[in-house]
Amino acid sequence: MSCSRAAVINISSSLGSLETTSTETKIPVLSYKASKAALNMLMRGVATSVEKDHILVVMLCPGWVQTNIGGPHASLHVTESVESLIKLMATLSNSHHGRFFNQTGVVVPW
Ligand SMILES: NC(=O)c1ccc[n+]([C@@H]2O[C@H](COP(=O)([O-])OP(=O)(O)OC[C@H]3O[C@@H](n4cnc5c(N)ncnc54)[C@H](OP(=O)(O)O)[C@@H]3O)[C@@H](O)[C@H]2O)c1
């Protein structure tokens, strides 16, 4: 990504994916998932509206990370996740605009 280009990079979650969701019943988890689905929907609209201004909008999932949210058994250390995200961010271009990816650049289904 060119340093001169504005970008809105949203930290979403694959838990917000409607296509891959499990049948979760716990309200706090459901609320979290709904908030990420809402973020994705909002940012897809924003992506369209700022396209003319050449502003890049992307949704990224950091993976399952050992933080307060992810817990100690998560598969990724914070450093691994952040390094992957930074590497990916450096490759972002028009082809990523308005889309949803995990930390390695694989598309996450809506
Ligand atoms: N960890 C994962 O496995 C994982 C997976 C997918 C997506 N994500 C996303 O990654 C992002 C970072 O999360 P994390 O894993 O780094 O979690 P984290 O360590 O628990 O950090 C969450 C941060 O959000 C802040 N926060 C929580 N509720 C807030 C509120 N109501 N108003 C303002 N700030 C609030 C917390 O502030 P305090 O420290 O002051 O409480 C904390 O700085 C989040 O968007 C999360 O959804 C994480």
Q: Are 47 and 71 in contact (CB under 8 A)?
A: no
Q: Is the CB of 35 under 6 A from ligand 1?
A: no
Distance 96 CA to ligand 1 centre (A): 24
**Beta strand segments in 31-110, E:** 56-61, 99-102
Domain boundaries, the chain: 7-102
Can you tell me which atom of ligand 1 is nearest the CA of 74?
A: 3
Strand 7-11 with 99-102, pairing: unpaired
Q: What is the pTM of this model?
A: 0.92
Instruction: Compute the distance from residue 52 Cα to the ligand 1 centre, in Å.
Output: 31
Q: Which fold has domain 7-102?
A: Rossmann fold (3.40.50)
69 CA distance to ligand 1 centroid (A)?
Answer: 6
Q: What is the pLDDT along the chain (110 residues), one digit of tens a residue?
A: 556 789 999 999 999 999 998 887 889 999 999 999 999 999 999 999 999 999 999 999 999 999 999 999 999 999 999 999 999 999 999 999 999 999 999 999 99
Bridge partners (DSSP) of residue 60 are 11, 101
- Please name every residue paired with 65 in a beta bridge, in sequence order, or none if there are none: 76
Cβ of residue 66 lying under 6 Å from some atom of ligand 1? no
Instruction: List the one residue out of 91, 105, 101 whose CA is nearest residue 16.
Output: 101
